[in-house]
Amino acid sequence: MLEERVAKVKEQYDALLEQTVGLMGDKVKHLKDAEKKLVPKPRKHPVVCIYCCMRNLPCDRGTPCRNCAKAMHDCKRAMCANFKTGICRNKLCNRAHEEDAKHYGNIVHAGHVRKEKDENKRTKKRARRRG
């Protein structure tokens, strides 16, 4: 009778131990997920070249990009002011940083890149005002 009770208690203990390990496993999994969030993700958007930036065109990761290749233009990427320090506060910065130097070999100091204005948009706005 005593042996039966000991066996029953041992079974209950083993069942509780399995549940505890299961719970701890979930906690360990949760910690691993939190650890993944701390690792910075690679850039999702490409560094825009000067030609595409000026003309407000979509730029791909090519070297040279499609637009520059099509226009037979020298494809160069503008360097961020915080290139060396690696601390750029703008999360959506479209300029090259130190980690981008591995992928792009055409990074230059560009200063301010002035965008070209679309003359057709101006004339359409004027026509709407008059009409």
- 51-110: pLDDT as tens digits: 998 898 998 878 889 999 999 999 999 988 888 776 888 878 888 888 888 888 888 888
Buried b / exposed e across 13-39, counting CB within 10 Å, b at 16+? eeeeeeeeeeeeeeeeeeeeeeeeeee
> What global pTM score does this model have?
0.52
Listed by start position, the domains of the chain span 1-39, 50-116
* C-beta atoms surrounding 88 within 10 Å: 15
Give 5-39 pLDDT, tens digit per residue: 889 988 888 877 677 655 555 554 454 455 455 54
The two tokens of residue 45 are 């958007």
